Structure 1
Amino acid sequence: MEVDLNELEKQEQSPHSSTFQSFFESQYTKQIEKLAMEWPQKKSLFVDFHDLEHYSFELADELLESPDVLIEAAQQAVQNIHVPTLETQEFKPHIRFYNLPKDRIPLLRNVGAEHLGTLISIEGVVRQLTDVLPKLKVASWQCRRCGNVYKREQETDKISVPPMCECKHRDFELLPHKSTFIDNQKIQVQEPLELLKGSEQATILNIIVGDDLVNKVMPGDRTKITGVIRLKTPKDK
């Protein structure tokens, strides 16, 4: 038996999903159809924040404060839209927002605790980047006792294992060949030197990018990145 724990958890649609679906159907139908035709070579739907703000100020404002919940709702919405060219394929694009309001584009030196868990954009110069490495996205775990297989999405760097099998045992084995991995890369971005005064040291921020966003910049490039600020403990870095 194979159980997808992620689907069980997401059977109840987000209350925002229907609003996002109406938004996408009214303004992003052509972009979604084009992405579907290029899937899976292209995996992201880029959404102008101003479009969402004009459609629903309340939804846009909530996106800034609770991006994890709202982006998941947006992804659910796209999956609910009928795309004829993908009737036999799984279509789960990333939803990537850009063009945030100016008050959501702080200087690197001003990024702090008040931004944790929120959606912001930062601008800077790429200082260095790591090699691209695989990251476990959806793990398939097999119970060593009865053979049941459970799929579990990995939302953090800490590997998540099912709490217990239906047979009441907790001994699981990872099945790499049935798991999903994505590319992962760390980028260091620093303040532009022209913003520094005297002997000030440039503020540096570590950015984690994944899947179709890896290898998009080089050291020395100026870049603008939109994402969610998260706290990393030293052991997670």
Structure 2
Amino acid sequence: MKNKGVMKMTDALKIDIDKIRVEHIGKKLKVHGKATRIGTHYLEFKTAAFQCMRCGHITKVEQDQDQVLLQEPIGGCENDICGKKGPFKVLPKESELLNVQDISILEIPENPKNGQIIKSLQGRLYGDIICVAQENEIWDFIGELTFSDMGKKRHEFFLKITELGDKYSNR
């Protein structure tokens, strides 16, 4: 049984997880799969506002979602009179925050074979779609394909999920 999705469908390349390749990085993909290993939702800074503790000037810094720590103003305080390298205080109410939730998407092969390895894709849900997909539910996940650094020169594909398409009944 199909259930209409919670978000509007947009043009995206429909692709199986095992067919994802480097040429798909930066493209909007639609991946059909089972939601697994759903994490707790948390916040992520899109733009962080920093207040100089010396003069009170507020500087906004766009954050790299792949970085773990908040990136402070590189050149120091932007106030021409001050210009000091800190200290800074983060102002959450002045910052742009995102609701996010980590998830793993497990492929659902059409005709599974004995001993077949089931592929998975790591992803992150953004905005109003967090906490919608529940464990073991089958959805069309839509978002931009990127990659994350696993260390030791190893990277893995990662889907930044901004839309949920159709929800399917478990087979």
Q: TM-score w.r.t. structure 2 length?
A: 0.71
Between the aligned partners of 2:115 and 2:125, the Cα distance in structure 1 is 31
Corresponding residue for residue 161 of structure 1: 72
Between the aligned partners of 1:160 and 1:121, the Cα distance in structure 2 is 32
- CA offset at residue 45 of structure 1? 7.9
Between the aligned partners of 1:128 and 1:174, the Cα distance in structure 2 is 31
- CA offset at residue 137 of structure 1? 2.7
Query: 1:101-148: CA deviations, max 9, x gaps?
Result: xxx212101112111111111111112201111222331101233221
- CA offset at residue 163 of structure 1? 2.0
- CA offset at residue 152 of structure 1? 2.5
Q: TM-score w.r.t. structure 1 length?
A: 0.53
What SS does the aligned partner of 2:18 have?
Answer: helix
Corresponding residue for residue 85 of structure 2: 170
Corresponding residue for residue 85 of structure 1: none
Between the aligned partners of 2:20 and 2:99, the Cα distance in structure 1 is 27
**Selected match of 1:110 from 19, 37, 43:** 19
**Selected match of 2:55 from 140, 146, 154:** 146
Between the aligned partners of 1:178 and 1:227, the Cα distance in structure 2 is 27
Query: 1:5-44: CA deviations, max 9, x gaps?
Result: xxxxxxxxxxxxxxxxxxxxxxxxxxxxxxxxxxxxxxx9
Between the aligned partners of 1:106 and 1:123, the Cα distance in structure 2 is 8
**Selected match of 1:221 from 137, 141, 150:** 137
Q: Partner letter of residue 72 of structure 2?
A: V
Structure 1 stretches of 4+ with a deviation exceeding 3 A read none
Identity %: 22
Give the CA RMSD over aligned residues.
2.5
What SS does the aligned partner of 2:84 have?
Answer: coil
- CA offset at residue 188 of structure 1? 0.8
Between the aligned partners of 2:7 and 2:16, the Cα distance in structure 1 is 27
- CA offset at residue 99 of structure 1? 4.3
CA 1:45–1:213: 2 relative to 1, 3 Å? closer
CA contact (8 A) 2:66 2:148 kept: no
Q: Which has the higher strand share?
A: 2
**Selected match of 2:35 from 117, 126, 144:** 126
Corresponding residue for residue 97 of structure 2: 181
Structure of greater relative contact order (alpha carbons < 8 Å, 6+ residues apart): 2
Q: Which has the higher helix share?
A: 1
What SS does the aligned partner of 1:232 have?
Answer: strand
Between the aligned partners of 2:41 and 2:115, the Cα distance in structure 1 is 34
- CA offset at residue 217 of structure 1? 0.8
Query: 1:48-87: CA deviations, max 9, x gaps?
Result: 5xxxxxxxxxxxxxxxxxxxxxxxxxxxxxxxxxxxxxxx
CA 1:213–1:130: 2 relative to 1, 3 Å? same
Between the aligned partners of 1:135 and 1:226, the Cα distance in structure 2 is 20
- CA offset at residue 191 of structure 1? 0.9
Q: How many residues align?
A: 141
Between the aligned partners of 2:48 and 2:16, the Cα distance in structure 1 is 37
Query: 1:142-199: CA deviations, max 9, x gaps?
Result: 1233221012332413233222223322223222343343321011111115443220
Could you tell me which runs of 5 or more consecutive residues in structure 2 were left unpaired when the two chains were aligned. 1-5, 157-171
What SS does the aligned partner of 2:128 have?
Answer: helix
What SS does the aligned partner of 2:146 have?
Answer: coil
